[in-house]
Amino acid sequence: MTSQSERDEQVRHRANFACEYCGVSETDSGGLLTVDHFRPRSLGGSDDLENLLYCCYRCNLYKGDYWPEQPGDAEIWNPRIEPMQNHLRLLADGTFYALTPTGEFTLQRLRLNRPQLVARRLRLRVEAERERREVEVRNILALFVEIHRQQTTLNQAQSAMLNEQADLLKLLLQ
Structure confidence at residue 129 (pLDDT):
94
The predicted structure's pLDDT at residue 3: 84
* Structural contact between residues 26 and 17, judged by C-beta atoms closer than 8 angstroms: yes
- Rounded Cα distance between 146 and 105, Å, is 54
**CB-based contact 21:53 (threshold 8 Å):** yes
Confidence at residue 2, expressed as pLDDT on a 0 to 100 scale: 67
| Segments of the chain assigned E as strands | 34-37, 52-55, 88-90, 96-98
- For 53, phi and psi rounded to 5 degrees? -130, 155
Distance of alpha carbon 6 from its chain centroid, rounded? 26
pLDDT digit string (tens) for the chain, length 174 residues: 568 889 999 999 999 999 999 999 999 999 999 999 999 999 999 999 999 999 999 999 999 999 998 999 999 999 999 999 999 999 999 999 999 999 999 999 999 999 999 999 999 999 999 999 999 999 999 999 999 999 999 999 999 999 999 888 888 888
pLDDT of 81 reads 92
| Residue-level pLDDT at 60 | 96
Helix and strand element counts for the chain (H, E) = 5, 4
